[in-house]
Chain A
Amino acid sequence: MEKARPLWASPLQFVFACVSYAVGLGNVWRFPYLCQLYGGGSFLVPYLVMLVVEGMPLLYLELVVGQRMRQGSIGAWRTISPYLGGVGVASVVVSFFLSTYYNVINAWAFWYLFHSFQDPLPWSVCPVNGNRSGYEEECEKASSTQYFWYRKTLNISPSIEESGRLQWEPALCLLLAWLVVYLCILRGTESTGKVVYFTALLPYCVLTIYLVRGLTLHGATNGLLYMFTPKVEQLVNPKAWINAATQIFFSLGLGFGSLIAFASYNEPSTDCQKHAVIVSLLNSCTSVFASVVTFSIYGFKATFNYESCVNKVILLLTNAFDLEDGFLTADNLEQVKAYLSSAHPGKYGEVLPQMRNCSLKSELDTAVQGTGLAFIVYTEAIKNMEVSQLWSLLYFCMLLLLGVGSMLGNTAAILTPLTDSAAVSRRLPKEAIAGLVCLVHCAVGLLFTMEAGNYWFDIFNDYAATLPLLLIVLVETLAVCYVYGLRRFESDFKAMSGRGLSWYWKVMWAGVSPLLIVGLFVFYLSDYILTGTLQYQAWDATQAHKSPSGCRPEKQLC
């Protein structure tokens, strides 16, 4: 006799699980970057179009498949067609890769969280060098936040070939991160269902607090104006549309099998159309919300740096010409400079090479994404706020909640097929299966805690998931529409839930979405082929900046 399948305690838990899975770190650190790159406010147009045309239909498709088949990805696709079990296996393998490197980010977030209890924050001051005559050289050349990230946290080696030793501090944090994930998944939906209340709701609380704080920061309006000023000419740039499609695709977490796993724990009569629309809309709104916060923080940081730069020039001129302390201000700087260059040209000429050209726009133009944004730019802004320990704590708690929420989905994608398989679940209880999965992930993830670990992380992040996911979702859509048959699927759906399928979904599944995915797939494949050798950016400790030779901008992590 079949054991009753565990169910979500309420449909709300299911929605929260999907939301906490979809709303992840990519909303915070990838979307603002894309927004800045592709025309600010006008990027919202391709983004929303792609959401409606690609995001919602594919999300709905996965939820329906999961809810109908009531099994994990492997079983579900085998049910659709016995020859398509491989799609499920591919999903599980990609989820395995993703879980392995995604939890390393949670480990780093833990590291920063534990270091937030110090006064002053360790990334706000450079450490003093051996003979106490100055600061560490690497820290002087870079900034204290970059130094803390590259040297103290990662202890990064100059290239990927030099793997270095295992760093015990990040390894401990990784162990803790996996223990936390294990704690959340070990009882299946029973424990996951309760955890998702926190991982779905608390990030919004923190984001709201940060929104209020961010908007009241000095210089926040500079960042917001810069971001939301639409550059309409970007609308005709095909890259904007491609990136919007890619962002929607990866942000919703399609193709990993997590959504199928979550939906398989649903009651068959659940209205997943409503849920699909809610989850995808919430995901996009969170992206916009997070980018408002990010840009007010950017504006604050850029204004702060600009004003520091101006103050440095003022100090330089005051000292060189022995002007009265406080006479030169930002307002009269240009006038005084003009006067000095005409009245004392010789002395002015000596000072001129040391004077930097301070520009607010160039500070705002530095677009950053990924771990660079989360661990360098944000920490730099936080260290300049008052009560910085509190803001740092809040911020890293939010990162952890977002990260753990997404990890729940990733691990569910691997666990559900395993617990569904009779061969495995007969021999081991589900706690042991979950424990084994976490153990294997942790052991493999120790690779990312070596000195060259961040390079491996970059490579995994850029290349592990892009093409496989596009292929998986393409095959999924074609399988449902053409192999299984759209009519048969529709009648199954009616029998299951008692409702019909709207024509809109059918058109999207059968025609528009597969074409879009094929287009994306062709684009990325040709992009990889044309670029030639795959590359990563290396940190040069002697120059204290990223190696400029043939750098590609980092790809997505959603």
Chain B
Amino acid sequence: MAKAALSGECIFPPGLPCVFHSERMLWPFFFLVAAIHAELCQPDGENAFKVRLSIRTALGDKAAQLLWSLQKVSCKLSDEWLNCPWGSSIKAKFSPLLCLFLCIYFRYAWDSNEEYLFKAMVAFSMRKVPNRETTEISHVLLCNVTQRVSFWFVVTDPLKNYTLPAVEVESAIRMNRNRINNAFFLNDQTLEFLKIPSTLAPPTDSSVPIWIIIFGVIFCIVIVAVMLLVLSGIRQRRRKNKEPSEVDEAEDKGEATITIENGIPCDPLDTKGGHINEAFMTEEERLTPL
């Protein structure tokens, strides 16, 4: 099974999709192109860059999971119309239209049209470099396309005598990396240009860190609450201070006499309905003070 995959044949193990329908048609074309430009575009050649795509990782898995959980809907229709490789081992239970939709929306196979788009994007990037505005799509050569999907490419001069220096190509690709990625619905990790490092997005720093704003809000709320409680406590105490002074005046007038026994006034005893006699409760505390 693994051997078959490596040699480029189409395999149908249960559950493994196949991507090679179109590849078989393209092999003679590649040989022809390679024969003409054999010297210029070579793996590890001078000024050549290797590109690696992970289309299934980026786009296919979401659809794949959805489909598996929809109990293996068949895509015979989409298989024929779009080369969407879901494998004939999956049987239909739901409308193929859903499958078609998913296939169109999510997945594309790497074929000669996609390669044309890639060449166009590279040519577009090179046109933005000063002195290279006349770069055409035919000046971009691809070779060694594997099933990974990975390939090597070079950009040649208009007469196709030599390849353009790697530094220029690299800087052109880096400037337009985002647009190249978007053309294929991929990102820096799934469309890799080996040897061209990607520029990481700058951190989006606002002038005031968000956490300070939230801290400030909560801090102010807590301070206000503390102030409120403290002030209401002070007010309560002031009210209580006024009352005993009034009671004292009444006592001075001799309206109420307080009998004292054993140092504890009898009247203010809170007997709690006769259940607890505070005289006995407070006695021990008096004898063993804090």
Among B97-105, B121-129, B164-172, B194-202, which stretch is in contact with chain A? Answer: B194-202
Chain B residue contacts of A487, Cβ below 8 A: none
Complex alpha-carbon distance, A203 and B285, angstroms? 40
Contact of B210 among A78, A117, A173, A323 (CB under 8 A): A117
Complex alpha-carbon distance, A321 and B52, angstroms? 12
Complex alpha-carbon distance, A78 and B289, angstroms? 9
Which residues of chain A in 289-343 are interfacial with respect to chain B, using CB atoms and an 8 Å cutoff?
318-319, 321-327, 335-336, 339-340, 343
Chain A residue contacts of B233, Cβ below 8 A: 186-187, 429, 431
A325 and B57 form a contact (CB under 8 A): yes
**Interface residues of B toward A: which range?**
35 or more
Contact of A335 among B2, B60, B219, B270 (CB under 8 A): B2
Chain A residue contacts of B2, Cβ below 8 A: 335-336, 339-340
- The chain A residue with its CB closest to the CB of B199 is A132
Which residues of chain B in 46-69 are interfacial with respect to chain A, using CB atoms and an 8 Å cutoff?
52-57, 60-61
Given contacts A82-B288, A186-B230, A187-B233, contact A179 B57 (CB under 8 A): no
- The chain B residue with its CB closest to the CB of A85 is B290
Question: Taking the complex as formed, is A547 at the interface, i.e. its CB lies under 8 A from any CB of chain B?
Answer: no
Question: Taking the complex as formed, is A74 at the interface, i.e. its CB lies under 8 A from any CB of chain B?
Answer: yes
Contact with A along B254-290 (1 / 0, CB 8 A): 0000000000110010100000100000101100111
A114 and B211 form a contact (CB under 8 A): yes
A325 and B265 form a contact (CB under 8 A): no
Contact with B along A153-176 (1 / 0, CB 8 A): 000000000000000000011001
Q: How many residues of A contact B (CB 8 A)?
A: 51
**Residue among B6, B53, B202, B214 with the highest chain A CB neighbour number at 10 A:** B6
Question: Taking the complex as formed, is B223 at the interface, i.e. its CB lies under 8 A from any CB of chain A?
Answer: yes
A326 and B56 form a contact (CB under 8 A): yes
Contact of B218 among A176, A321, A336 (CB under 8 A): A176
A183 and B215 form a contact (CB under 8 A): no
B215 and A132 form a contact (CB under 8 A): no
How distant is B184 from chain A, measured CB to nearest CB, in Å? 13
A323 and B60 form a contact (CB under 8 A): no
A134 and B288 form a contact (CB under 8 A): no
B211 and A322 form a contact (CB under 8 A): no
Chain B residue contacts of A187, Cβ below 8 A: 229, 233
A324 and B147 form a contact (CB under 8 A): yes
A132 and B229 form a contact (CB under 8 A): no
Which residues of chain A in 80-132 are interfacial with respect to chain B, using CB atoms and an 8 Å cutoff?
82, 110-111, 114-115, 117-118, 127-128, 132
A75 and B290 form a contact (CB under 8 A): yes
How distant is B92 from chain A, measured CB to nearest CB, in Å? 22
How distant is A459 from chain B, measured CB to nearest CB, in Å? 28
Complex alpha-carbon distance, A268 and B19, angstroms? 82
Question: Taking the complex as formed, is B178 at the interface, i.e. its CB lies under 8 A from any CB of chain A?
Answer: no
- The chain B residue with its CB closest to the CB of A118 is B210
Given contacts A78-B290, A179-B219, A187-B229, contact A327 B16 (CB under 8 A): yes
- The chain A residue with its CB closest to the CB of B278 is A2
Question: Taking the complex as formed, is A421 at the interface, i.e. its CB lies under 8 A from any CB of chain B?
Answer: yes
B222 and A325 form a contact (CB under 8 A): no
Which residues of chain B in 1-36 are interfacial with respect to chain A, using CB atoms and an 8 Å cutoff?
2-3, 5-6, 16-17, 19
Which residues of chain A in 416-450 are interfacial with respect to chain B, using CB atoms and an 8 Å cutoff?
420-422, 429, 431
Complex alpha-carbon distance, A321 and B6, angstroms? 9
B6 and A323 form a contact (CB under 8 A): yes
Chain A residue contacts of B276, Cβ below 8 A: 268
Chain B residue contacts of A336, Cβ below 8 A: 2
Contact of A325 among B55, B282, B284 (CB under 8 A): B55
Chain B residue contacts of A429, Cβ below 8 A: 233, 237
B215 and A114 form a contact (CB under 8 A): yes
B226 and A325 form a contact (CB under 8 A): no
Contact of B147 among A71, A268, A322 (CB under 8 A): A322
B284 and A183 form a contact (CB under 8 A): no
Chain A residue contacts of B282, Cβ below 8 A: 2
How distant is B117 from chain A, measured CB to nearest CB, in Å? 18
B288 and A78 form a contact (CB under 8 A): yes
Chain B residue contacts of A118, Cβ below 8 A: 210-211
How distant is A86 from chain B, measured CB to nearest CB, in Å? 14
How distant is B80 from chain A, measured CB to nearest CB, in Å? 21
A179 and B147 form a contact (CB under 8 A): no
Which residues of chain B in 208-234 are interfacial with respect to chain A, using CB atoms and an 8 Å cutoff?
210-212, 214-215, 218-219, 222-223, 225-226, 229-230, 233
Contact of A128 among B3, B200, B237 (CB under 8 A): B200
Question: Taking the complex as formed, is A133 at the interface, i.e. its CB lies under 8 A from any CB of chain B?
Answer: yes
Which residues of chain B in 234-254 are interfacial with respect to chain A, using CB atoms and an 8 Å cutoff?
237
**Residue among B60, B218, B276, B290 with the highest chain A CB neighbour number at 10 A:** B290
Complex alpha-carbon distance, A186 and B232, angstroms? 12
B146 and A421 form a contact (CB under 8 A): no
Given contacts A176-B218, A323-B6, A324-B5, contact A2 B199 (CB under 8 A): no
Question: Taking the complex as formed, is B130 at the interface, i.e. its CB lies under 8 A from any CB of chain A?
Answer: no
Contact of A421 among B55, B61, B219, B290 (CB under 8 A): B290
Nearest 4 CB-CB pairs, A to B?
A326-B56, A114-B211, A322-B146, A322-B148
21 pairs, CB–CB < 8 Å, chain A vs chain B = A1-B264, A74-B290, A79-B285, A115-B210, A117-B210, A132-B200, A133-B199, A172-B215, A179-B222, A179-B226, A180-B222, A182-B226, A183-B229, A268-B276, A322-B147, A322-B150, A324-B147, A325-B55, A326-B56, A420-B290, A431-B230
